């Protein structure tokens, strides 16, 4: 064969190969033998909670921020982001502003232009071979969530929705969602809108987009009261089945916190053994769960580590039993002394992150089933406002939702020591692959 013909054939082969790859698309994340698989390789990842990503991408300024932040994450080796699909309703809720603008403004009325931000985020993730986990709604009020559906259906008065609720009130009200048929129907309408959407930028249907790793039923869905456990389990099962019927390509999970949020381990096991659920999730919140008090993180730090290790181990045992992967998809710790400024130290947080990441990177600890860890939360180039502690309209989105002090649990792009912990763990993972 002449040199000219050889080169011509080589060029044609390269072009054809590229075409076929484009046609086939990038592979979806799947599950096999209790592991995530991407292509032919194990998929073990460090990710971030990036709930505001779709919202931020709705302005030209926000898109510049998204591009810069995703480039930053990709450079650090972070390959996964967990994202809020959209908020429900408008105005104050539980005594504070909620995330806005809303995707579902009133029952069945959607601001579909808002989803162009999520379109943009997914398109940019695809360019960097990154994956998104998208949750449809929220057990908590900061994005509207279940309380808003109950309000729309006359089960919570406007005046009650706006004022500060105590914990017992919150539990009583949210638990009612699972027996509110019109509430669930409105939630399902939002779910179906998203799963069936076609990306305005890539022209890919969401259900056919490999940039999406998984659909998540909600952020931290809880029965909230023992009396609602059976209704809660029914909701998880029926919702997962609906998602699966609409989209056979993507993984489905719950968004649950573990036995801390599901009342007991039997309930946690039950919702995750469902055939329509592909993997287990847990969240770990030492501050919220009272493992230390006030600013005394240092004095209680060993207890925090002990409790965290025990929590991971007992949920890992369930994952082994069910032969499904486990993701530690939320964990966080305040900055030292619970300071909120970018300049404040993160020594204890860094040690905590390293402790959790060891369960991801160390084969002796992960039992082959801990396959991902998304820390809470990525604030990137955002910065806290100097006007007030809580978020309000016009402030940068940070990792901390509006109900929490801005900067408390956020990881900024300038937190050099924390990013060193992240990259060090990823090196260990690569060594063990």
- What pLDDT digit, counting tens, does each position of 30-77 carry? 999 999 999 989 999 999 999 999 999 999 999 999 999 999 999 999
Q: Over 70: is that where the pLDDT of 432 sits?
A: no
- Sign of the Cα torsion 129, 251, 370, 42 reads negative
Which pLDDT score is estimated for 25? 56
> pLDDT digits over 119-138, tens only?
999 999 999 999 999 999 99
- Are the C-beta atoms of 29 and 43 separated by less than 8 Å? yes
Q: How far is residue 62's CA from residue 397's CA, in Å, rounded to a whole number?
A: 10
When computed from its CA atoms, the radius of gyration of the chain, rounded to whole angstroms, is: 22
In this prediction, residue 2 has a pLDDT band, given cuts at 50, 70 and 90, of low
Q: Span 108-115, mean pLDDT?
A: 96
Residue 234 CB-density burial (10 A; 0-12 exposed, 13-18 middle, 19+ buried): middle
- Whether the bond into 174 is cis, omega within 30 of 0: no
- Are the C-beta atoms of 140 and 132 separated by less than 8 Å? no
Q: What is the pTM of this model?
A: 0.93
Phi, psi (degrees; rounded to nearest 5) at 165 = -100, 145
Pairing of strands 80-84, 87-88: unpaired
Q: How far is CA 129 from the centre of its chain?
A: 17
Which pLDDT score is estimated for 296? 75
Which has the closest alpha carbon to 421: 330, 337, 355? Answer: 355
Pairing of strands 35-38, 41-42: antiparallel
Q: Over 90: is that where the pLDDT of 22 sits?
A: no
Cβ–Cβ contacts within 10 Å for residue 96, how many? Answer: 17
Q: Supply 95's token pair.
A: 């005594």
Which pLDDT score is estimated for 393? 87
CA torsion, ordered 412, 418, 422, 423, to nearest 10 deg: 100
In this prediction, residue 289 has a pLDDT band, given cuts at 50, 70 and 90, of very high
Which pLDDT score is estimated for 107? 96
Cβ–Cβ contacts within 10 Å for residue 72, how many? Answer: 15
Q: Over 80: is that where the pLDDT of 154 sits?
A: yes
Q: How many domains does the chain have?
A: 1
For residue 134, the cross-strand partners are: 83, 215
- Domain CATH code at residue 373: 3.20.20.80
In this prediction, residue 6 has a pLDDT band, given cuts at 50, 70 and 90, of very low
> pLDDT digits over 340-392, tens only?
889 999 999 999 999 999 999 999 999 999 999 999 999 999 999 888 899 98
Cα distances (angstroms) measured from residue 382 to each of 128, 159, 269, 395: 21, 33, 38, 9
Q: How far is residue 395's CA from residue 25's CA, in Å, rounded to a whole number?
A: 38
Q: Which domain holds residue 372?
A: 3-432
- Are the C-beta atoms of 323 and 317 separated by less than 8 Å? no
In this prediction, residue 24 has a pLDDT band, given cuts at 50, 70 and 90, of very low
Averaged pLDDT of the chain: 93
Cα distances (angstroms) measured from residue 51 to each of 44, 86, 199, 334: 21, 9, 19, 18
Which pLDDT score is estimated for 13? 36
> pLDDT digits over 307-334, tens only?
999 999 999 999 999 999 999 999 999 9
Residue whose entry in the numeric block shows the structure tokens 């999970």? 253
**Percent of the chain whose predicted confidence (pLDDT) is above 90:** 87
Residue whose entry in the numeric block shows the structure tokens 């499904």? 324
Interior angle at CA 217, CA 325 and CA 383, nearest 5: 90
> pLDDT digits over 247-277, tens only?
999 999 999 999 999 999 999 999 999 999 9
Phi, psi (degrees; rounded to nearest 5) at 380 = 55, -125
Which pLDDT score is estimated for 431? 72
**Helix (H), strand (E) at residue 195:** helix 181-195
Q: How far is residue 75's CA from residue 66's CA, in Å, rounded to a whole number?
A: 14
Lowest mean pLDDT among 4-13, 140-149, 238-247: 4-13
Backbone angle region of 110, left / alpha / beta, with phi > 0 → left and psi within -120 to 50 → alpha? beta
- Are the C-beta atoms of 256 and 326 separated by less than 8 Å? no
In this prediction, residue 86 has a pLDDT band, given cuts at 50, 70 and 90, of very high
């Amino acid at each position: 064969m002449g040199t000219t013909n050889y080169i011509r054939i080589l060029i044609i082969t390269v072009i054809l190969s590229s075409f076929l790859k484009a046609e086939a698309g990038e592979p979806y994340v799947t599950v096999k033998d209790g592991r995530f698989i991407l292509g032919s390789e194990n998929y073990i990842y460090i990710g971030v909670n990036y709930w505001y990503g779709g919202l931020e991408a709705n302005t030209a300024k926000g898109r510049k921020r998204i591009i810069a932040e995703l480039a930053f994450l990709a450079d650090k080796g972070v390959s996964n982001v967990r994202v809020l699909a959209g908020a429900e309703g408008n105005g104050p809720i539980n005594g504070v502003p909620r995330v806005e603008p809303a995707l579902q403004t009133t029952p069945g009325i959607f601001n579909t232009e808002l989803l162009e931000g999520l379109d943009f985020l997914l398109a940019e993730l695809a360019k960097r071979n990154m994956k998104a986990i998208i949750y449809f709604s929220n057990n908590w009020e900061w994005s509207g969530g279940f309380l808003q559906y109950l309000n729309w259906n006359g089960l919570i008065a406007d005046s009650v929705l706006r004022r500060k609720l105590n914990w017992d009130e919150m539990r009583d009200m949210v638990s009612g969602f699972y027996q509110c048929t019109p509430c669930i129907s409105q939630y399902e309408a939002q779910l179906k809108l998203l799963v069936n959407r076609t990306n305005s930028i890539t022209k890919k249907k969401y259900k056919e987009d490999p940039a999406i790793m998984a659909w998540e039923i909600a952020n931290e869905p809880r029965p909230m009261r023992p009396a609602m456990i059976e209704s809660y389990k029914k909701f998880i099962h029926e919702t997962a089945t609906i998602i699966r019927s609409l989209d056979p390509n993507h993984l489905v999970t719950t968004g649950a916190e573990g036995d801390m949020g599901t009342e007991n381990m039997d309930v946690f096991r039950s919702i995750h053994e469902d055939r329509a659920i592909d993997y287990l999730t847990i969240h770990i919140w030492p501050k919220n769960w009272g493992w230390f008090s006030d600013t005394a993180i240092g004095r209680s730090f060993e207890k925090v580590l002990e409790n965290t290790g025990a929590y991971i181990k007992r949920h890992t045992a369930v994952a082994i039993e069910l032969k499904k992967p486990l993701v530690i998809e939320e964990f966080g710790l305040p900055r030292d002394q619970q300071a909120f400024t970018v300049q404040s130290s993160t020594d204890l947080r860094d040690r905590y992150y390293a402790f959790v990441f060891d369960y991801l990177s160390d084969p002796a600890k992960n039992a082959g089933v801990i396959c991902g860890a998304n820390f809470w939360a990525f604030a990137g180039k955002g910065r806290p406002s100097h006007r007030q502690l809580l978020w309000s309209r016009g402030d940068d989105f940070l990792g901390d939702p509006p109900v929490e002090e801005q900067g408390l649990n956020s990881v900024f792009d300038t937190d050099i020591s924390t990013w060193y912990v992240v990259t060090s763990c990823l090196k260990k993972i690569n060594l063990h692959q």
